[in-house]
Chains A and B, each alone.
Chain A
Amino acid sequence: MAVTGLDIYKLLPQTNCADCGVPTCLAFAMKVAAKQAALDDCPHVSEESKEALGTASQPPQKLVTIGSGDSALKIGNETVMFRHEEKFHHPCGIAVLVNDTDDLDAKAAAIKNLFLERMGQNIGVDVVAVRCGSGDGQKLKDAAMKMQAALNLPMVLIAESADKLQAAAEGLAEARPLLWERNGPSDALVELGARTGLPIVVEGDLDKCDGDVQKARQAGIEEMVLCPGEVTPRGALQFLTMSRRAALKRTYRPLGYPVLAYAWSQDPVQLSLEACHYVLKYGSIVVLDEDRPEYVLPVLVARQSVYVDPQVPVQVEAKVHEINEPHDKSPLLVTTNFSLTYYCVLGEVEASRVPTRILTVDTEGTSVLTAWAADKFGPEQIKEAIEKSGVFDQLAEGYQKPVIPGLVAVISGELSEELGRKVIVGPREAGGIRRFFNSEWPTLVGS
């Protein structure tokens, strides 16, 4: 029987201390009931209460933490199969593979190069997977230590057998790496995981994972990550779909863990496409043996896209943004407050080095044409935003001419009438802004 929020509330200290990150015990109880939080997130809950609720209060898919400190990666705890049903909660980790036989400095440099920024967010590679290619556990440890020092990212340690993971696991226990014994876990790995308290990978088909998870749980291991092993993308899709369904729809605990998907394709293009596909369909960590940005970038952008909360518009503040210290003869660009739109424009303006004001009109976070079609970016709204901002007061006579996106050229006449000022139609794509600043803009202002 489902446990209600009220059932859970009765078992809480009811002090509303907010240490759980939720303002009240009742609100926290509701979250636990909705499987969006674990009872353990309340540091004050009694052992008896915990037992009373037992596993019923646990979310259907376990939250697993890899790494420690600021860069720790939290995965799992997902609640839906399709993002519109709620949202995907914990962005998957994207891991680049490093062999302990590689030129480690070069690898670290390549991975550093993959810390990218997009739309004001860091979208870079956020996990390093270090593999014991040498067959020597000591070497794996040295390599892992080196990567840890160079990058300070959560790690997956990979070896063919548990003994080769031991030195690295013990030496780096504080950094909480995920231990992946190929085709594991053997009893030795279970023992190592239990002793060090580190999360482990359980590899195999669903039946094998089912059994091995129960074995590891009995040994005291709580945090695990499933992995379908070396299968085709088709096999992986089946594994990812079925394990997630078993967890979310049947609360089947032995499969209620996040999943690591390894892109096995040899050809880098295919590897990239395979990885994109795992990002969209339920991978919690996606490992790529590839560190060139042209292949990794689409994977990073796919993750950024699919983990956007579909209920919340992705927007920036509606105001005048001052770029490169604008003065009274600087251009005034008008755009929407949709993050994607704003950052496209901002990127071009920054690259141009031209001091500029960008007025973001409140379109409830929608793109230029979407907003225009929905009557949120018409002459009236733009006029109102301009007037409210008082931006014309900062501009010299002859420069009080807003530049609008080329895609809404049709509104220029009406806007110009409303404002009683000339309106300049800019290029259709943000990419044209630099050329526009150099060629057309100077001829259109000043008089």
Chain B
Amino acid sequence: MNADDSRRGELAELARLLPVPAERELPPGRQQTLKEHLMSELRTADTAAAGKTPARRHSRKRAAALAGVLALAAVAGALVYLTRPTPRPSPATVRLLDKIAAVASRQPTLGVRDNQFWYIKSWVAYTDCGNAKCVLEKPHERQIWQSASNQCVTGLLRESGQDTRLIFGTNIPSIKCPYKGSLNDPTYRLLRSLPTDPHALLRLIYRGMQGQQPAPEEAFTTIGDLIREAIAPPRVSAALYRAAALIPGVTVVPDATDAIGRHGVAVAMTSQGIRMEWVFSKRTFQYLGEHDINVADGSTNGEAAILQRAFVDRVGQVPG
């Protein structure tokens, strides 16, 4: 199977997982109205521009100079891009992640049976774009139960008291049950099989992307998902944190808060205008939660606080 085929396969699978949204034409009269409006606005824009003729000669020179600067900047940008612009994490960032990893590696190893479920209770609010504009949900409790070894076993999601059964997608030809998942939909069993060498682990994460350039933000996002609503064995958790310390652009935010207002120190990365912060206790260096912030206005784009993690024998069972 070549790359094109596998991409087509991936898009086809996504299309199968999602309902086909409605499609329609602009109502004919409306299409005409929008077009006439647009064309008349373009003329207005041109007239407005033409009205500025006195200043124009001057500004054209300035524009040419500016264009030159922009062209140079573009070339510089391209060069920087090729030579990997993003700085390696600072020594302070590496030290912090190392401390966090050391704490994670000292957690007791759980005796987990394949027929158990992980139980993770959190307090979350995410951005919901379902109704014409994106709004931050009301913060609420979220509890999830997922099989420790096999994604084909039905799990449960309980949000604000509402239950949703997590049933594995049908018609995915590439997958055979039992399925221990992937980096993007892991089970404990999958996480247990990951390399504990941070370089090897990061290579594996990058390999999952198969792009021409490694995408540091994407690796950071993947690790962020793996440390939040999942449970990994101590040595793998430690390796995930040490792998994060190898990602260019990762920084430290000295004071951050999780979704229930617990203060901590954050490991952060900015991507497309959103700063993703993983918040850790300043005292114990344990993971508290995540806070995603729109850099432009400081507003919250998403937040989570982990309240409890455990393995239980049955779906719906809450640890005592």
A and B physically associate: no
Binding site for A on B (CB under 8 A): none
